[in-house]
Amino acid sequence: MTKKALFILMALTLATGLFAIDVSTKVSLNFLSMADMPKDNDFVLGKINEKLLQDLNCELKFTYLTWTDWQNRYALMLASGEPMDAAYGASWLNYYVQAKKGAFLALDDLLPKYAPVLNRLVPKAKWDGVKVGGKIYGVPRWDYNFVQRGFMYREDLRAKYKVPEIKSVDSMIAYLDAIKKNEPKMVGMTESNWMAELIIYVTKTKYQWIDGYDPYGATTGMLVADPSKPSELLSIFDLPEYKTLVTKMKECADKGYWAKDILSYQGNPKTDFAAGLAASQPSANPDGPPTPAATWATEHPDWKVGYYFYPDLNNTPQSSMPAQDVTVILPRSKNPERALMVVEKFLSDRSYFNLFMYGVEGRNYKVAADGSLDNSWVPAEQKFGGVAMWCWLNRYFELPKKYGWEGRNALLARLEKTLVPNPFSGFAIDTTAVQAEAAAITQVYNQYVKPLQTGLVANVDTALAQVKDRMKSAGFEKWKVEIQKQLQAWLKAK
């Protein structure tokens, strides 16, 4: 945490006491979390509630959604009448569309009084980025986080086989080639969507993505715009860079850098990489390397993790969109003011952060002599993994991991200093008017685009022509025109 940020936070925290807020009535709150229930949940939540009762005279419980049919269950939970005060929200959970539908409570009038610290601490650009129709419907993280991706690999193997330092697509391919030739028990990668990642982060174009990149959405990553002509949308399938990319992907596939059945792979790329079964994980964000690095430090001390951030190829580091992780208050909440006060505690008070992130000190973790997080001694049933409210994460409060990847903090500090603004941050697509076309485009994407981008086609020219033809039949142009109309309206109102 920077000294300036710490000073501001301390000053604002003291100022909070100036507001005479009546919390004499005890209330119970229910927050919706997008994850499975963590281990030791009841014990940790009990300690959280002890603090909340003392500070805000309220108790909190979490309703956890599992990752089974999560998209439908999340939407149903928002629309249901079940008592619920607040929820995790995100752009990938249709934050903007849900806000337009009235699923969330506008917070503009509540923030100055009930979350004064956050109201001033969160940068104005972030507040602007979560506005819908000119109103704020979500509380964003106040730190900068990065979800742009990079190439995570075995640095020890790169050095062993004398592969050039990885700073380009060609050096990544050289690394995969060395693995193919020298490590017969290891596959270059198991992750099937990395080709889409390369479209977004490696093609070195002047364009920005309009339909974004969302790993949970199939109809994303197909429309771009030149920031100098922001309202003119282009299809990636017409870009010469796309033809270059898919040609390169076929060359890699033909050389066996990934399995022929990679599109039907059902495993976990992160697990495969950490276990030494795969030589890379090509869509890791900057928070990816610390996990295998910590595991290898004790189990395989000779293994080393390497990481290359794709935006460095064309100097376009961007933080995640403000609505990547937000807390939303639901209109049916009987205590929205108290719910917002709780959110402020978790986002601005380190003691609360430690509880929801690490658990109870002495039971779920301890702070080592060097100041790092240590839970290596904790029994499996008490390995608390956090309540999965990513909207409350704050890297300025984080404890360093005992065996974490040493390059992470330096990378994040550099990225924060060199951020490039995204001129389309805050724009969200509403497919209501083109639902049939969106569904048809998704089907074409899954059936024809994925094999092309994975190099699993007999002929690139033939496959690309087929993609264009099938997209045309699916209504791609109507879909594109609708999105362009929405973008023009958004730019005009901005």
Q: What are the tens digits of pLDDT across the range 255-275? A: 999 999 999 988 889 999 999
What pLDDT, on the 0 to 100 scale, is given for residue 219?
45
The C-alpha angle with vertex 130 and arms to 215 and 282, in degrees rounded to 5, equals 25
Give the Cα separation of 348 and 141 in Å (integer). Answer: 10
Q: Which domains does the chain have, with CATH numbers?
A: 3-142+325-394 (3.40.190.10)
**Amino acid in position 65:** L
Q: What are the tens digits of pLDDT across the range 377-414? A: 999 999 998 877 889 999 889 898 777 788 888 898 89
Q: Of 66-75, 188-197, 290-299, 406-415, give the lowest mean pLDDT range.
A: 188-197
**Spatial contact of 273 and 300, defined as CB atoms under 8 Å apart:** no
Give the Cα separation of 392 and 354 in Å (integer). Answer: 11
| Beta carbons within 8 Å of 58's beta carbon, 6+ residues apart | 23, 26, 27, 28, 29, 52, 335, 338, 342
Q: What are the tens digits of pLDDT across the range 73-83? A: 898 899 888 89
Q: With a cut of 70, say whether residue 12 has pLDDT above it.
A: no
Q: With a cut of 80, say whether residue 16 has pLDDT above it.
A: no
Q: Scanning the structure block, which residue is given the tokens 């539908």? A: 101
Give the Cα separation of 52 and 345 in Å (integer). Answer: 9
Give the residue from 338, 321, 358, 353 showing the smallest Cα distance to 146. Answer: 321
Q: What are the tens digits of pLDDT across the range 408-426? A: 888 988 988 888 878 888 7
Q: Of 133-137, 240-244, 474-478, give the lowest mean pLDDT range.
A: 240-244
Q: What are the tens digits of pLDDT across the range 92-120? A: 888 988 998 999 999 999 999 999 999 99
- Residue 457's pLDDT band, with cuts at 50, 70 and 90, is very high
| Beta carbons within 8 Å of 162's beta carbon, 6+ residues apart | none
What are the angstrom distances between the C-alpha of 447 and each of 343, 442, 454, 471? Answer: 43, 9, 12, 11
Q: Of 22-26, 206-210, 262-266, 437-441, give the lowest mean pLDDT range.
A: 206-210
Give the Cα separation of 202 and 234 in Å (integer). Answer: 18
**Judging by DSSP bridges, how do beta strands 373-374 and 366-367 pair with one another?**
antiparallel
Give the Cα separation of 321 and 130 in Å (integer). Answer: 9
Percent pLDDT > 70 in the chain is 92
Give the Cα separation of 326 and 90 in Å (integer). Answer: 6
What is the three-class DSSP state of 86? strand
Give the Cα separation of 262 and 253 in Å (integer). Answer: 10
| Beta carbons within 8 Å of 160's beta carbon, 6+ residues apart | none
What are the angstrom distances between the C-alpha of 142 and each of 93, 252, 275, 390, 396? Answer: 20, 41, 34, 12, 10
| Token couple for 12 | 């604002």
Give the Cα separation of 90 and 95 in Å (integer). Answer: 5
